[in-house]
Amino acid sequence: MVLPVGSIINAAAIIVGTFVGMYFSRFFPDRIKTIVFQALGMITLSLGIQMFFKGVKPLPIILSLILGGIIGEALSLEERTNQLGNSLKRLIRSKDVKFTEGFVTAVMLYAIGSLVILGPLEEALTGQRTLLITKSTLDGVASIALASTYGIGVGFSSIPILVIQGGVTLGAGYLQHFFSEYMLSQMIAVGGVMVMGIGLNLLEIKKIKVISFLPALVLSILFSLVHF
């Protein structure tokens, strides 16, 4: 069994990036923070568009997002996640007013994308950590920008990221035969639309309840299994 070393590095990069962002934020005026944040928003939006075009069949993607959004709203996933962030905030007795927003935004940004699955699979099956090191670098840089505005809540996103990616690494023996190329492409496309939603949130263009669309990822897998 391969230990999830790459995911541990990823989590550490997020934590380090958070403290760097929090430290240097005091030296920059708000207009500099704003332009950095806008850059991150545009990059995120562009990444989402790129991911979307990896999809093969548009109809299952559309249905996954619509039905997934309905399920997510019915289950109040956005509200429950915010409650989790607030509970974590109370647990560590943080007075940061943006703690929960930073935690939720960072988790969604770091947990949606092909590298979340492909990186741990590469580590488990080949012993290489190239993809996870790349993701760690990207997440670390993003954490600097996010933490300069949202604060310490960004760093705590490292916990679910470590659990998710570490779980994929440990369960890779079962997952490698389950995920087909078609399934991954459809799931990445659905995730791409969600990443676009995160980009819109970062740019403050429109508030998108991205977490409510999480069931869409599961539906994209189910639709792929039946080749719908």
Per-residue pLDDT of 149-159, as tens digits, reads 889 999 999 99
pLDDT in the model for residue 56: 79
In whole angstroms, give the CA distance from residue 15 to residue 218.
Answer: 29
In whole angstroms, give the CA distance from residue 71 to residue 14.
Answer: 30
Q: 199: how many CB neighbours lie within 10 A of its CB? A: 23
* pLDDT higher than threshold 70 for residue 176: no
Place 188 in a pLDDT band, splitting at 50, 70 and 90.
Answer: confident
> In terms of C-beta density within 10 A (0-12 exposed, 13-18 middle, 19 or more buried), how is residue 114 classed?
middle
Percent with pLDDT over 90 in the chain:
32
Residue 16 CA to chain centroid, in angstroms? 17
Query: Helix, strand, coil proportions of the chain in percent (round to 5)?
Result: 80, 0, 20
* pLDDT higher than threshold 90 for residue 163: yes
Read off the pTM. Answer: 0.81
Place 54 in a pLDDT band, splitting at 50, 70 and 90.
Answer: confident
User: For the residues 115-133, what does the mean pLDDT come to?
Assistant: 84
**DSSP character at residue 212:** G
How many helices and strands, by DSSP H and E, does the chain display?
Answer: 11, 0
pLDDT digits (tens, 9 = 90+) for 7-48: 999 999 999 999 999 998 888 888 888 888 888 889 888 888
Length of the chain: 228
Q: 75: how many CB neighbours lie within 10 A of its CB? A: 13
* pLDDT higher than threshold 70 for residue 173: no
Residues 123 and 4 sit within 8 Å (Cβ to Cβ): yes
Q: Which range, 53-57, 92-96, 142-146, is most confident?
A: 142-146
In whole angstroms, give the CA distance from residue 123 to residue 132.
Answer: 8
* pLDDT higher than threshold 90 for residue 125: no
* pLDDT higher than threshold 90 for residue 65: yes
pLDDT in the model for residue 228: 65
pLDDT in the model for residue 122: 80
- Residue listed under structure tokens 């699955």: 117
pLDDT in the model for residue 53: 87
Place 117 in a pLDDT band, splitting at 50, 70 and 90.
Answer: confident
* pLDDT higher than threshold 80 for residue 105: yes
Q: Write down the mean pLDDT value for the chain.
A: 87
Residues 109 and 198 sit within 8 Å (Cβ to Cβ): yes
